[in-house]
Structure 1
Amino acid sequence: MPDISQIKNTEPGLATLLNTKLFVSENLNGEEKDESESEESTPGEDTANTTPQLPLPDVPAGSISDIKDLFQGPEDQYGRAQWLDKYPEDAEEAAETEETAKYAFIARKTKCFTGRKKFDVHSIIVNSPSVKRVLGDIFQDYPNLSCSIDRLVFDAPFEPFMHHWTDFLEAIESEDNPKTKEHLELLHKILEEELKDEIQALDDFIAYRVISFDKLWILFLPGCTVISPQRGAPHALKLSSGEYSSDGSGPFYFLRMSSIGWSGTSFGRSGPANCSVRIYGFKGTRGVEDLTACPLSYYPDKDLITETLVQRGARYEKLCGYHFKTYEGLALALDGKGNQTPMNVSGRVILDTESFNRHNPSEAEHYGRRLEADEFERLEVPRRNSKKTDEISREDFALRQETPNVILTAKGHLFCQSLQPGCSLKHKKWMLFFVDFVKEIVWNENAFDKLVLPENTKDLLLSFVESQVENKDTFDDVIQGKGKGIIMLLSGPPGVGKTLTAESVAETMRIPLYMMGAGDLGIDPDEVEETLQNILQMVTKWNAILLLDECDVFLEARTTSDLERNKLVSIFLRTLEYYEGILFLTTNRVSNMDPAFQSRIHVSMEYSNLTAESRRQIWHNFLSLSREKHEVTDADLDYLSRLDLNGRQIKNVLKTSFLLSMRKKAPLKRDHIDIVLAIEGRRPDN
């Protein structure tokens, strides 16, 4: 092979390249060519600047039908350069020509300043068609890389080769064509010399499962699956890209990744920035299990974590849409400023991504990117007004809502999020709930039977609620959408069962109960209207019962002296007119009700003070519901029923009495209750 070391790379834009080395296995004539031979000027070379410039005619701007070339001039001490209209005298011919393109590869080199070698390989240009074909098979799934283009360039540090180094070696070994194999071995020779440190780091990782910070990029193949903890739970994320960067805490390797989630209307993949991970710099080497992100292929318990995440993803998919569930565990509460605070939650919850996104637009996760073909399947579903249901049940059709023809595969489940957004009915807060802690509701089948009310009154209540839940669209006002709700007013002294009535009805109907007080709405008229409209919109969608407790401020008659309260009453009246759900109002004072409310209330129930028989039933109900043992007799109940206590006071007395009996490690007896009653007798009645 001739000496080609004297060829100098002077390609524009690569002024820092000091040496170009050309590799050749054989030229077209079967003979080697001396690259030092001079070449003729190529047709079309700019010679216009060697002739005298004639003055331009006096014409409007943009009128001359020609192209004017400008050339970058020399840089000053600050690295600045001007654009000149003269051809630079020191400009040299381009190093890459038709002759150099005959070589299988072109290796462009720069000076090495580490002292270990003279030059570093800046980039490699692949000209060999057969090598392009082989590399196309090796890198067919590598993102943003096509080996079929005419000018195929690989830049240092040659990530595709390191990420598929084993595949590259196997391709060389299995190649049958002698000429192609010769070209591949030639490419392997220069890459092996240039990447010897990286290859050694990969060998050490395979042998000892440790890696240094500067070689982290070797492990993270773009498009691979990465396991990383996200908001307290392990996640499988798809890697988009990785790069080294730094901040005030020091250098780090930045991973841009994505996951699969439910947007409220469809499944999609999140943007890479939503699931980013930073691996901060460390000295020496570190085990793969100690990293904040690890490729699934290197994860210690790969099969176990895959199975666990696929099962969790299947639960995530089932909880998309609207669901009424119970929850026990840690959840993430939102403060409106982008902060997520962990808190323990116990009780009924509503999972509803669409409503969450509408009321919390700044907190909404965006899943706008399309899923890959192997992450979902399409199902035939019954069309509207069609009776065809052979492929999917109507229950699944309703569950999947606006995207019923898409279900996730096991691979799609692997990348699913672990959190579903929703509302805690107990805390009246929007939160993010871990799907692992979501459970089915255990309903109290005897809740309505335990309610101390006349049977005909209970039948009337249930009939109203059932008709509204099942047939709310059968009756409408003259104005469409007006007056379609059911409003029930429960009035009476404290502790007689007003709130319990609404709770028992909701439990029996197995629908949510959203409880709130007048103080939750605020006092500013605009704030009250906005809050009330949002709440009524939510509970209507959820087919829930709304309980507005102690709402006297909204029910009292308007006066000419208190204009601000008049506004509140007017807003309340106008908003309820278009409410389509079930509303329970409770109050201790009903004598001064505004006349406008009387025409809007469908059922008004007044609770009187408890009778002895009612109190006895309440004592009995609370004792039977307790898990602790007791020795309270019927005679004791007869005595206790004569005490002038309301339902809430009876519950408090029994709760305190049970605590006392547990302290004494004995079943609850009448003596324990008498002790508590004696204490109660020394404080004012509530």
Structure 2
Amino acid sequence: MTVIESSPVTAARDAASKLVDLTMNGDDHSDIKPGMISDTKNLYQSKPDNRGRTTWVDTYPDDLEDPAENAETARYALLIRNSKCYDGRKKLQIDSIVIQSPLLKQVLGTVLKNYPGITPTLERLAFSAPFQPFVHRWKNLIEALEADHDPETKAHLELLHRVLEAELRDDLKARDDYILNGVITHSTIWMIFEPGTTVFANKDSQPCAAKFNNDRGLGNTRFTIWDFGGTANITKLTTFPLEYHPNLGKVKDKLIARGKVFEALSGYNYKSYQGIAIGDGPWGPVKYNMDSRIIIDTYAWNRFNPNKQVNLTTLTKSNKKAAVVDDSDDYDEYDEDEDDYDDDCYSKEDDIEDEGQVEGEKSAPAPLNDDQLLLCGASVKGYSLRNKKWLTFSIGSVKDIKWNEDAFDSLVLPEDHKELILALTESQVAHKETFDDVIQGKGKGMIMLLFGPPGVGKTLTAESVAESMKAPLYMMSAGDLGLDSSEVESSLSNVLEMATKWNAILLLDEADVFLEQRSAHDLERNKLVSIFLRILEYYEGILFLTSNRVDNIDAAFQSRIHISMQYNELSTSSRRHVWNNFLTASSKAKKHGFGDDELDKLADYKMNGREIKNVLKTAQLLASKKGAGLGYEHVKSVLAIEKRHVNNEKA
């Protein structure tokens, strides 16, 4: 056997030979350890066998040629690498070009400025076929060629132009011909998609624009233009450069106008929404037909949806180019007739921090210019207060809230009670930072307990306060929080954090399960109560608790409640007030058609507010069936069917 060594190391070789001899004799010399040879051993890939398999051998290949690039080739301004051509028109085609001239690299720094993936200052600057950067920037190259340069730079530029023109002549001619006729083929579609181009598409009937980065997507969003035969009209593609749009001026104005709405929705906004919203389902995006008040807040979205975060950049006067921010968290929605975009129509969602939104942020955001407004998304992130879901909302369906200015005045409560509730809630919002416990952040909230029989206005009180203060109302019940203790703790913590952040009025309806006295026999419920008490201790907002019974309230709760208010059964005068309110609200005219005598008769029926509303709704349906307006006779019929009896009590 022949042993080949990369260099002789006598001592090490002798030791290794001795070890082999000893081992072959069968002696156990495990205590003898040979020294490692301080050198390298080269192995080479063998030629493939008849199955294409290779292995590693120590025999130097005998079919290698010297590398083509050496000190001699380094003297040339350009290196042209050619490969065999099999299209039937020529023997060879250029595979790649290596730019070696420093003078040429300097000019290309201007010609290919800001072109993605190109760094002209590299020592080794190579371009591969089909030379997309030069096809896209051919006009720039011609302008550079016609500019004033020193003779050597001019010569190098002419050389590059001559080589590229010969290679790209057919492509450039075809591109110009396609554009002239407003068409393109699938194989040459890259010619009209220069990186940095503003592209246009429709998503869910919403026009969208974005910056094209490369053929792998727009920002972090993938898209697809399905294969097609022959030529296709450029403007019929699912995505095409905006400059080809037949109504370019109008569509740009529309996108800019929507961008201004998008910019106005930066930070935190409390709005009304009526339309389709997109959420997460077990198998992908799910559409919801919604009519709800919503909170638009991308920062809160990122806080409570860490796996679907939207990247945000604050705009300042010195950072206006940062206006567009990649929205990489959206679902990939696949449709056979549309491109594969994310839910925001592949646009890069641009949410701007408002002052105070992030701790330590002081400067106001710089306004967007028209180019930036053009790229703003067609949707925003937020939370539906009715559905209790984080969703993506279409900007066109976001509306201002129509406040009920009379809600608090129509509340059936003694005036001094109403004044106290409103004063406490308004003061809490205005001065919540002025009081603190011995432990920082503890006991800064305001908790009110409203108790009494059903249908007497407990829930309506919280709703009216929120409406009067123009604040969000977050309504929840014990069922919304779950029954498992860990689930309750997580859900409640999130809800309280959101309510605090948004200065929302929090209403926990029918909170008896949390308020009831703890016992030694129901350990699981005791755990829920303990969790609730502990988390409430650090709540900084306003909380209304409603209960139908307070006879057995836990003592620990009594010390945490700032004010308890009892609601009694509705008196005759209160019931008359409720009848009048509901009738006024249901009437399309400024005043309903019920007379004072009829209201007095209705007030004699002993009913709570919820029952009165249900009777009126049923009577309204009855009147509609008969094709008439709501009248006393319809209400009377419903009361008779339900066998409601007149109460003799007078208040």
Deviation at 1:80, TM superposition (A): 5.5
Deviation at 1:407, TM superposition (A): 2.4
**Using a 3 Å threshold, how does the CA distance of structure 1 residues 594 and 512 change in structure 2: closer, same or farther?**
same
What amino acid is the match of 2:517? A
**Using a 3 Å threshold, how does the CA distance of structure 1 residues 478 and 462 change in structure 2: closer, same or farther?**
same
Aligned to 2:9: 56
Between the aligned partners of 2:74 and 2:490, the Cα distance in structure 1 is 71
Aligned to 1:412: 372
Aligned to 1:457: 417
What amino acid is the match of 2:212? L
Q: Count matched residues.
A: 587
Aligned to 1:302: 248
Between the aligned partners of 1:476 and 1:373, the Cα distance in structure 2 is 39
Aligned to 2:299: 354
Contact 2:452 2:568 in 1 (8 A): yes
Between the aligned partners of 2:69 and 2:58, the Cα distance in structure 1 is 25
Q: For 1:262-281, what aligned pairs fall within 5 Å after superposition?
A: 272=220, 275-281=221-227
Deviation at 1:639, TM superposition (A): 1.2
Deviation at 1:599, TM superposition (A): 2.4
Aligned to 2:89: 116
Between the aligned partners of 1:403 and 1:61, the Cα distance in structure 2 is 61
Deviation at 1:287, TM superposition (A): 1.6
Deviation at 1:85, TM superposition (A): 6.4
Aligned to 2:218: 257
Aligned to 2:439: 479
Asked if 1:661 is matched to 2:606, the reply is no
Aligned counterpart in structure 2 of residue 125 of structure 1, from 90, 94, 98 = 98
Deviation at 1:334, TM superposition (A): 2.7
Identity of aligned residues (%): 49
Asked if 1:158 is matched to 2:158, the reply is no
Asked if 1:397 is matched to 2:370, the reply is no
**Using a 3 Å threshold, how does the CA distance of structure 1 residues 520 and 149 change in structure 2: closer, same or farther?**
closer
What amino acid is the match of 1:345? M
199-208 or 366-375, which moves further after superposition? 366-375
| SS of residue matched to 2:119 | coil
Deviation at 1:675, TM superposition (A): 2.5
Asked if 1:332 is matched to 2:278, the reply is yes
Deviation at 1:370, TM superposition (A): 10
Between the aligned partners of 2:41 and 2:87, the Cα distance in structure 1 is 44
**Using a 3 Å threshold, how does the CA distance of structure 1 residues 661 and 628 change in structure 2: closer, same or farther?**
farther
Between the aligned partners of 2:442 and 2:234, the Cα distance in structure 1 is 63
Between the aligned partners of 1:553 and 1:179, the Cα distance in structure 2 is 88
Asked if 1:636 is matched to 2:589, the reply is no
Aligned to 1:604: 564
Deviation at 1:75, TM superposition (A): 4.7
Deviation at 1:131, TM superposition (A): 4.4
Contact 2:6 2:41 in 1 (8 A): no
The CA RMSD measured in Å over matched residues stands at: 3.3
**Using a 3 Å threshold, how does the CA distance of structure 1 residues 188 and 633 change in structure 2: closer, same or farther?**
same
Deviation at 1:171, TM superposition (A): 4.0
Aligned to 2:234: 288
Between the aligned partners of 2:319 and 2:58, the Cα distance in structure 1 is 54
Between the aligned partners of 2:5 and 2:37, the Cα distance in structure 1 is 22
Asked if 1:499 is matched to 2:459, the reply is yes
TM-score normalised according to structure 1 size: 0.77
Q: Give per-residue Cα distances to partners, 1:596-654, cap 9 Å, x unaligned.
A: 32222222222111111111111111222234244211121111111122111222222
**Using a 3 Å threshold, how does the CA distance of structure 1 residues 72 and 299 change in structure 2: closer, same or farther?**
farther
Between the aligned partners of 2:55 and 2:195, the Cα distance in structure 1 is 40
TM-score normalised according to structure 2 size: 0.81
Between the aligned partners of 1:374 and 1:324, the Cα distance in structure 2 is 27
| SS of residue matched to 2:225 | strand
Contact 2:512 2:548 in 1 (8 A): yes
Asked if 1:621 is matched to 2:581, the reply is yes
Between the aligned partners of 1:154 and 1:510, the Cα distance in structure 2 is 61
Aligned counterpart in structure 2 of residue 671 of structure 1, from 633, 639, 642 = 633
**Using a 3 Å threshold, how does the CA distance of structure 1 residues 503 and 185 change in structure 2: closer, same or farther?**
same
Q: Which runs of 5+ in 1 are unaligned?
A: 1-50, 243-254, 259-271, 378-394
Q: Give per-residue Cα distances to partners, 1:285-324, cap 9 Å, x unaligned.
A: 2222222222233333333333333333333333232222
Between the aligned partners of 2:314 and 2:64, the Cα distance in structure 1 is 48
Deviation at 1:535, TM superposition (A): 1.2
Aligned counterpart in structure 2 of residue 316 of structure 1, from 222, 241, 262 = 262
Deviation at 1:162, TM superposition (A): 1.1
What amino acid is the match of 2:217? R
Aligned counterpart in structure 2 of residue 226 of structure 1, from 199, 209, 229 = 199
Between the aligned partners of 1:594 and 1:223, the Cα distance in structure 2 is 65
577-586 or 498-507, which moves further after superposition? 577-586
Deviation at 1:194, TM superposition (A): 2.8
Aligned counterpart in structure 1 of residue 108 of structure 2, from 135, 144, 152 = 135
**Using a 3 Å threshold, how does the CA distance of structure 1 residues 604 and 166 change in structure 2: closer, same or farther?**
same
Contact 2:422 2:465 in 1 (8 A): yes
What amino acid is the match of 1:55? P
Q: For 1:79-118, what aligned pairs fall within 5 Å after superposition?
A: 88-118=61-91
Between the aligned partners of 1:436 and 1:446, the Cα distance in structure 2 is 29
What amino acid is the match of 1:208? N
**Using a 3 Å threshold, how does the CA distance of structure 1 residues 552 and 126 change in structure 2: closer, same or farther?**
closer
Between the aligned partners of 1:527 and 1:307, the Cα distance in structure 2 is 48
Deviation at 1:583, TM superposition (A): 1.3
Q: Give per-residue Cα distances to partners, 1:403-431, cap 9 Å, x unaligned.
A: 44342532333333333222111111111
Aligned to 1:574: 534
**Using a 3 Å threshold, how does the CA distance of structure 1 residues 610 and 370 change in structure 2: closer, same or farther?**
closer
Contact 2:454 2:548 in 1 (8 A): yes
Deviation at 1:451, TM superposition (A): 0.4
Aligned to 2:611: 649
